[in-house]
């Protein structure tokens, strides 16, 4: 047993951080897909334009923030798995839910908790800095007038402070995530953005290998082959063993 004791207020902070992670991951998925060299599946071309609905600006920090979160969740899901003799899930979201479900039953002085508080605090702070908003609000994109919008996570509607337009929060965020998943890029471009279910970097060669095995559909644009970001994200969430079994 470790001598490090997790005080009740810090346990509460750990659980609060875990509860916030699914929403934060959605924000990061939206942010990481933003680039001026990949475009939507509808046009299948390299379009350079400032219009947000066609091409989104790239935030390279989102990929690292997401990998760091995935790495922490994988590490501590494995520790909890060993402590309770129950297999841990392999995807980041399911690992988060696994920790939320089982951590309350583990004693405060368990080795499972060593470093968890600090690690979660570090990666969630990085995530919120990356998406550039307060932790208590979620991004809702831009109003038609151009003003950036944000809302409380439980809000149904948000009103633009400039023009008064009312936006449905859940519908807008669903549209933003759908748009992000439809972004297209070459294997090299997408490899810069993503990690697998274990938090490891995805190589361009692995993406091309998935395409050769029929797991990804490529689209030829000029001299390049591009792939849909959403399809690659779904493959990244699978355990590495499943790639080999289904090869």
What's the pLDDT tens digit per position in 79-124?
999 999 999 998 899 999 999 999 998 887 788 888 999 999 999 9
d(CA 166, CA 134): 21
Cβ-based neighbours of 119, under 8 Å, separated by 6 or more: 72, 75, 76
With beta carbons less than 8 A apart as the criterion, state whether 56 and 35 touch. yes
- For residue 79, the model assigns a pLDDT of 94
Sheet containing 224-228, strands listed edge to edge, beginning at the edge strand earlier in sequence: 39-40, 183-186, 224-228, 219-221
pTM equals 0.51
Q: What is the pLDDT confidence band of residue 3, given thresholds at 50, 70 and 90?
A: very low
Asked whether the beta carbons of 229 and 195 are under 8 A apart, the reply is no
**Domain residue ranges in the chain:** 8-135+182-245, 136-181
Per-residue model confidence (pLDDT) at position 71: 92
Average confidence score pLDDT of the chain: 77
- Residue 233 pLDDT exceeds 50: yes
Q: Between the ranges 11-20, 78-87, 198-207, where is the mean pLDDT highest?
A: 78-87
At residue 30, the pLDDT reads 75
Which residue bears the tokens 């965020």?
173
For residue 136, the SS3 value is coil
**Which pLDDT value is given to residue 72?**
94
pLDDT of residue 2: 43
| Mean predicted confidence (pLDDT) in 169-181 | 80
Burial readout 6-45 (b: 16 or more C-beta within 10 A, e: otherwise): beeebbeebeebbebbeebbbbbbbbbbbbeebbbbeeee
């Amino acid at each position: 047993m470790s001598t490090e004791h997790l005080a009740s207020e810090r346990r509460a902070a750990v659980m609060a951080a875990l509860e916030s992670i699914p929403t934060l991951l959605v924000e990061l998925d939206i942010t990481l897909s933003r680039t001026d060299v990949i475009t939507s599946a509808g046009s299948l071309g390299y379009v350079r334009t400032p219009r947000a609905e066609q091409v989104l600006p790239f935030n390279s920090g989102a990929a690292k923030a997401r990998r760091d979160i995935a790495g922490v969740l994988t590490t501590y899901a494995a520790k909890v798995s060993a402590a309770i003799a129950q297999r841990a899930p392999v995807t980041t979201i399911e690992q988060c839910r696994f920790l939320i479900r089982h951590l309350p039953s583990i004693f405060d002085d368990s080795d499972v908790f060593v470093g968890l508080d600090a690690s979660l605090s570090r990666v969630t702070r990085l995530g919120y800095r990356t998406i550039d908003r307060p932790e208590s609000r979620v991004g809702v994109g831009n109003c038609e007038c151009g003003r950036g919008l944000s809302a409380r996570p439980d809000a149904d509607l948000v009103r633009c402070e400039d023009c008064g337009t009312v936006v449905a929060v859940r519908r807008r965020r669903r549209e933003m995530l759908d748009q992000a998943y439809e972004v297209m890029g070459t294997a090299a471009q997408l490899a810069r953005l993503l990690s697998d279910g274990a938090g490891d970097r995805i190589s361009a060669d692995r993406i091309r290998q998935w395409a050769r095995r029929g797991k990804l559909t490529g689209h030829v644009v000029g001299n390049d082959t591009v792939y849909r970001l959403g399809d690659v994200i779904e493959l990244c969430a699978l355990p590495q063993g499943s790639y080999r079994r289904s090869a």
